[in-house]
Homo-oligomer: A and B are copies of this chain.
């Protein structure tokens, strides 16, 4: 059922936490990876701030791609589509940033996301996690929805004393300050880094080009 935790670990599917005038709500975020040209598509009646948070998430992920086992040229050969159902409900704000990063990393690496985890936090271009609003309402929604673990920004840890005890007992709440911590908790296994030396790759590419050009020039 929609509004509950996922039933199995899935690739690209992450549970975010939204805060609306009527309380907190689980936000299902879905990403797909398609053959393409490095484009990002977003759907789900997303506001500009949420779209920009997806842009920032995407650039951050590209910037650390060798850490994730992905060679940078790979990005030019695929498109990513991020969708946030329900399609008729407007959504906005930056607080799904770390969920967006997790979703994108999952589809790129093919590593599933743990089904009983939810998360909230703005992400910066360096992967830092910024604080969010509505912590209490979001935690209540997580508990209601069957979530076991919630990742929150470290800067929101100061708000935990105001959270009811039953919520704190029913959930494992983990403050995080960087997206790398998020990935450690959210992915069912960690990606293996790949070596990528940008300068060396460029030099090798230039050498191959020059060789091939030389061959062409001396053809007879």
When the two chains form their complex, are residues B94 and A86 in contact, meaning their CB atoms are under 8 A apart?
yes
When the two chains form their complex, are residues B1 and A125 in contact, meaning their CB atoms are under 8 A apart?
no
When the two chains form their complex, are residues B125 and A30 in contact, meaning their CB atoms are under 8 A apart?
yes
A212: Cβ under 8 A from any B Cβ:
yes
- For the complex formed, measure the closest distance between the CB of A39 and the CB atoms of chain B, giving whole angstroms: 11
Closest residue on chain B to residue A58 by CB atoms:
B81
Bound Cα distance A134, B52 (Å):
28
Most central of A52, A125, A215 by chain B CB within 10 Å: A125
When all copies of this chain in the complex are counted, the total is 6
When the two chains form their complex, are residues A215 and B216 in contact, meaning their CB atoms are under 8 A apart?
yes
Bound Cα distance A211, B216 (Å):
11
Bound Cα distance A30, B45 (Å):
24
When the two chains form their complex, are residues B213 and A219 in contact, meaning their CB atoms are under 8 A apart?
no
Bound Cα distance A13, B128 (Å):
12
A25: Cβ under 8 A from any B Cβ:
no
Closest residue on chain B to residue A52 by CB atoms:
B43
Q: A2-B130, A13-B126, A63-B32 are in contact. Are A87 and B53 (CB under 8 A)?
A: yes
Q: Cβ of A213: which chain B residues have Cβ within 8 Å of it?
A: 212
When the two chains form their complex, are residues A124 and B85 in contact, meaning their CB atoms are under 8 A apart?
yes
Bound Cα distance A218, B215 (Å):
7
Closest residue on chain B to residue A13 by CB atoms:
B126
Query: Quick one: CB contact mask for A195-214 with B, threshold 8 Å, 1 for yes?
Result: 00010000000000001110
Q: A85-B122, A93-B88 are in contact. Are A32 and B52 (CB under 8 A)?
A: no
